[in-house]
Amino acid sequence: MTEAGTRLEKDVREESRFDTPWRTVVWNDPVNLMSYVSYVFRTYFGFDEAKATRLMLHVHNDGKAIVAEGARELMERHVQAMHEYGLWATVDKAPL
């Protein structure tokens, strides 16, 4: 492959990273009750009880759970909302 072809391939790979979804990650904390975390997931995200409970258990047992994926701006709004509910959350880029 030529040098120009290698550069083009690298540029395409880098550009495709911008299309990669971002994630909202909720982290375990020593403050909030598991029932409250489940309540937040049901109230804010509209998850049914089974999904909210499953995600809450991931947070509790694994230390974190990915609760949403999508555009960065939306994930940042989700993180802000989780902070307003008193939960620890971050935005993370989904792996390629």
Residues of the chain with pLDDT > 90, as a percent, come to 76
Q: Distance between CA 71 and CA 42 in Å, rounded? A: 21
Confidence at 6, pLDDT banded by 50, 70, 90 = low
Please state whether beta strands 22-27 and 64-70 pair in parallel, antiparallel, or not at all (unpaired).
antiparallel
- Fold of the 20-93 domain: Ribosomal Protein L30; Chain: A, (3.30.1390)
Q: Where are the domains of the chain?
A: 20-93
Quick one: pLDDT at residue 7? Answer: 53
Q: Which tens digit of pLDDT belongs to each residue from 18-63? A: 567 999 999 999 999 999 999 999 999 999 999 999 999 999 999 9
Quick one: pLDDT at residue 9? Answer: 55
What does the mean pLDDT of the chain come to? 88
More confident residue, 15 or 61: 61
CA 21 to chain centre: 9
Residues of the chain with pLDDT > 70, as a percent, come to 80
